């Protein structure tokens, strides 16, 4: 069974304090790993797709990286508007469904 584990569960940063979120996965035949952002009361919003180990994607203050066992979401000089829950998901084999982790709840304060 595909498993996705995210850590930490919650993270509190001061504005400008860079950090990383972790997503470790166990899956048979990874087709893709995906990062989403979810604001309270909203649906998840797609951020990145990573397909193979060594791949990196960037968007503003966010950079996602992938190894054979885990993915990191690096947040550089975060701002309060980056506060959200960040979800990691995997797609395996021939399945169309995504398997999500439980997310990391990020709070960025002034």
| Residue 98 interacts with other proteins (CB under 8 A): yes or no | yes
| Residue 74 interacts with other proteins (CB under 8 A): yes or no | no
Residue 80 Cβ vs other proteins, minimum distance, rounded to whole Å: 22
Query: Nearer to other proteins by C-beta: 22 or 32?
Result: 32
Stretch in the footprint of other proteins (CB under 8 A) among 12-20, 54-62, 66-74, 88-96: 88-96
CA distance 85 to 69: 22
Applying CB under 8 A, among 62, 91, 106, 108 the residue interacting with other proteins is: 91
Residues 6+ away with beta carbon under 8 Å from 26: 2, 3
Query: Nearer to other proteins by C-beta: 72 or 91?
Result: 91
3-state helix, strand, coil split of the chain in percent (to 5) is 5, 60, 40
CA distance 68 to 50: 11
CA-to-CA dists, residue 66 to 8, 44, 88, angstroms: 17, 20, 12
| Residue 21 interacts with other proteins (CB under 8 A): yes or no | no
| Residue 45 interacts with other proteins (CB under 8 A): yes or no | yes
| Residue 56 interacts with other proteins (CB under 8 A): yes or no | no
């Amino acid at each position: 069974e595909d498993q996705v584990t995210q850590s930490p569960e919650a993270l509190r940063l001061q504005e400008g304090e860079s950090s990383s979120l972790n997503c470790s996965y166990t899956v048979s035949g990874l087709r893709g790993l995906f990062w989403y952002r979810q604001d309270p009361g909203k649906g998840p919003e797609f951020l990145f797709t990573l397909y193979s180990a060594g791949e990196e994607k960037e968007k503003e203050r966010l950079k996602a990286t992938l190894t054979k066992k885990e993915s990191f979401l690096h947040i550089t000089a975060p701002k309060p508007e980056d506060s959200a829950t960040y979800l990691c998901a995997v797609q395996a084999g021939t399945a169309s469904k995504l398997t999500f982790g439980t997310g990391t709840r990020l709070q960025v304060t002034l």
